[in-house]
Amino acid sequence: MIGTLGAAPAERRLLPEGRVAGPMPWVIAIMMFLTVLTAAGGLAMRHAARAIGADLADRITVQIVEADPVARERQAQAALALLRRDPAVGSVSRVPADEMKTLLAPWLGDGGLEDELPLPVLIDAVLAGDGPRDLAALRSAVTVAAPAARIDEHGQALAPLAGLISALKWLALAVVLLMATASAAAVMLASRAALDTHRAAIDVMHLLGATDVQIARLFQRRLALDALFGGLVGFTAATIVILLIGRRVGSLGSELLGSVSLPPLAWLLLLALPWFGAGIAMLAARYTVLAALRRIL
């Protein structure tokens, strides 16, 4: 009989019938639902921070605001020539006037974009990856060549956003750890309740020669299966919500929000969460049952 303790019939005789009969799988499902959503948010923000940083951190924009079109064009050409000669700059491109009108149309309207409107000159520059990064010297040189020029450093402008994203990533990690702790506590309570319910059967098993490890193995296997079932239910529900939110975000057409997405590796990490939760449940059940059996004896 001892050798059959791990069999399914023995589990059904000792533990409650039906994997979804008790509240524990549904508690785990709720915990996993919230955990997956939180982890997905943290991973998406991490991916967005890397994408935004890779696209904008090494970019600067030179803006030449000058009412006189002749002087504006002269300064633009001088700034372009200087940037193209500078070893710290990898590539330089001037934003076409038609593109600037398209960008300003939502704010000024078509009626405010007459030919007489003095549109500034915008020059996009990408800093060289292995070149010097003396931006103060570059700013000074550009200002000498084009007195009406202003330089916007995208990396500096993104610093507050990067700090916020970093704080939110750590917050997401803390919430995931709290959810894992709460799930382990739920498994411990379920293990103790099962022990109290089947105390007489456990005493009989002890009389027949069953060891504490064999009895604990019986509980941990069943509770791990319950936790895995609840985890997969929570993961499925969270995945549906994530996909729906992704579709809504994608329909907005925003490049900033569009960068908030989950790469394939992030999906693999999320898929591993239910199995990780089942492992935590198995360990929590094992040590809870073993500790309780030692106190009984």
pLDDT band, very low/low/confident/very high, at 236 (cuts 50, 70, 90): very high
Give me the pLDDT at residue 273, please.
92
DSSP the chain: -GGGTTSHHHHHHHSPSSTTSSSHHHHHHHHHHHHHHHHHHHHHHHHHHHHHHHHHTTEEEEEE--SSHHHHHHHHHHHHHHHHH-TTEEEEEEPPHHHHHHHHHHHH-GGG--TTS-PPEEEEEEE-TTS---HHHHHHHHHHH-TTEEEEEHHHHHHHHHHHHHHHHHHHHHHHHHHHHHHHHHHHHHHHHHHHHTHHHHHHHHHTT--HHHHHHHHHHHHHHHHHHHHHHHHHHHHHHHHHHHHHHHHHT-HHHHT----HHHHHHHHHHHHHHHHHHHHHHHHHHHHHHHHH-
CB 286 within 8 A of CB 222: no
pLDDT band, very low/low/confident/very high, at 168 (cuts 50, 70, 90): confident
Give me the pLDDT at residue 275, please.
92
Give me the pLDDT at residue 33, please.
94
| pLDDT per position as a tens digit, 88-147 | 787 888 888 777 777 776 666 665 555 556 778 888 888 776 544 567 777 788 888 888
Give me the pLDDT at residue 133, please.
58
Give me the pLDDT at residue 82, please.
84
**Average pLDDT across the chain, whole number:** 76
Range of weakest confidence among 29-33, 64-68, 125-129, 251-255: 251-255
Flag whether the pTM goes above 0.85.
no
94: β partners? 123
- Domain boundaries, given as residue ranges, for the chain: 2-54+159-296, 66-147
| pLDDT per position as a tens digit, 247-256 | 777 666 554 5
